[in-house]
Structure 1
Amino acid sequence: MESKTITVCVIVGILGLAAAIAGFAAEATKVKKSQGRVVDDGYERYCEYPSSPAMGFAIGATVALVLARSIITSASGGCCSCCQTIPNLPAFARVCVVISWITTSVAVILFIAGAKLSTQKSLEMEVNGVYYCYTIRPGVFVGAGVMGLVGVLLAIAYYLFYVSAKNGTAKASGVERELEAPPVTDVKKPPVASRKH
């Protein structure tokens, strides 16, 4: 395996793992329902939340996923690489890249939505008329982290298939060129004898 291929896989893998870890960290540090406090200042009711690094983790995970997706996309021929006709590229590789795009996109949307909702200070009212502070549902950040990691792993799998198919095509075209080349003969022509008169 070439050093470029290994480098791309390692960098993208680290970014995917970082996004997953950030998702778990955001889930662990997000504001819980019991931590929100309803404040009534006489004019309106609003929520006060303790400070939480969940939003920072979510943004960091989003950046890591976007970087990983950008690196793998540029290394494997651009955005429409799955639509290109590449000989020897298995159909499974195309499935990997499509699912990778979907899972990565959903993960990024969940991270952004979670980051936005973690700063929201809205109230919700229960059936019995009691107000409580809105918090993000459990599992949003964890789900985003897992989906992001799966998307990155599928992108790496596609990239390895892509590199293998490209190398196979290059080797095959080199063999064809050798076969098409005219044979080289190293036969020495006999010297022409000069006629004496």
Structure 2
Amino acid sequence: MRCKTILVGILVATLGIAVAVAGFAAEATRVKRSQLKLVFDGLEPECEYPSSPAMGLAIAATMALVLARVIITSATVGCCSCCIPTPNGPIFGRVCIVISWITSSIAVILFIAGAKLSSQKDVKTDTDGVYYCYTIKPGVFSAAGIIGLVSVLLGLIYYFLYVLDRSRAAKKPEVDLELEKQQVIDGNKPTISDGTKPQMP
């Protein structure tokens, strides 16, 4: 049980770090406005975008985050884990897993939206009628990476609380069984009738 817990913890933590690293890498390699060129070829202008791995990194980060979410879910009690009490109180455990689900959803949405927006190569027009090339706003991928890492850490906290709770629940029947055996042994002892001689059954 301990080996499984350690392996799950290491795997999920590695995926969380991978999400953050991929998010910051996507942020660093995203196409900047200074790298774009507006070319007038014929009647319609066109945007020339340099190649960038930001979209692939965003997709990889999304897959890592989803995989971490699946591992945590399968290692506990599924999607209803927020309803299971934990040894440190049901409120703390539920808050951790609920916030973990919310933050992971936000991170996935940011990664997917960032990847989709990074693939847009259409020419835009501002309110003054001036043409420009669209670029994703800075901070989207890095924010997604940080939020994804927080989501994984909260999921790990709940997972360890869940394992501890199950371990305590497994030890409780053993303790109760030992107490029952002790009571049975004590009940078979001969009773003292006059203070000197035991009365045999």
Q: Partner amino acid for 1:153?
A: L
Cα distance in 2 between the residues matched to 1:173 and 1:33: 65
Cα distance in 2 between the residues matched to 1:88 and 1:150: 22
Structure 2 matches for 1:152-191, cutoff 5 A? 152-181=152-181, 183-184=184-185
Using the TM superposition, give the Cα deviation of residue 38 of structure 1 relative to its aligned residue in structure 2, in angstroms: 1.7
Equivalent residues of 1:62, 1:108 under 8 A apart: yes
Cα distance in 2 between the residues matched to 1:87 and 1:143: 30
Q: Partner amino acid for 2:163?
A: V
Equivalent residues of 1:88, 1:169 under 8 A apart: no
Cα distance in 1 between the residues matched to 2:87 and 2:125: 59
Cα distance in 1 between the residues matched to 2:143 and 2:86: 36
- Compare relative contact order (CA 8 Å, sep 6+) and give the higher one, 1 or 2: 1
Structure 2 matches for 1:34-183, cutoff 5 A? 34-84=34-84, 86=85, 88=87, 90=89, 91-181=91-181, 183=184
Structure 2: any 5+ residue segments left out of the alignment?
190-201
Structure 1: any 5+ residue segments left out of the alignment?
188-197
Q: Look up the match of 2:192.
A: none
Using the TM superposition, give the Cα deviation of residue 134 of structure 1 relative to its aligned residue in structure 2, in angstroms: 0.4
RMSD: 1.9
Distance 1:155 1:136, change over 3 A: same
Deviations 1:56-109 (A, max 9, x none): 11011001101111001100111111113x463522111010000111110011
More helix by share: 2
TM-score with structure 2 setting the length: 0.85
Q: Look up the match of 2:196.
A: none
Cα distance in 2 between the residues matched to 1:39 and 1:174: 77
Cα distance in 2 between the residues matched to 1:66 and 1:42: 45
Q: After TM superposition, where is structure 1 displaced by more than 3 Å over at least 4 residues in a row?
A: 86-89, 126-129, 184-187
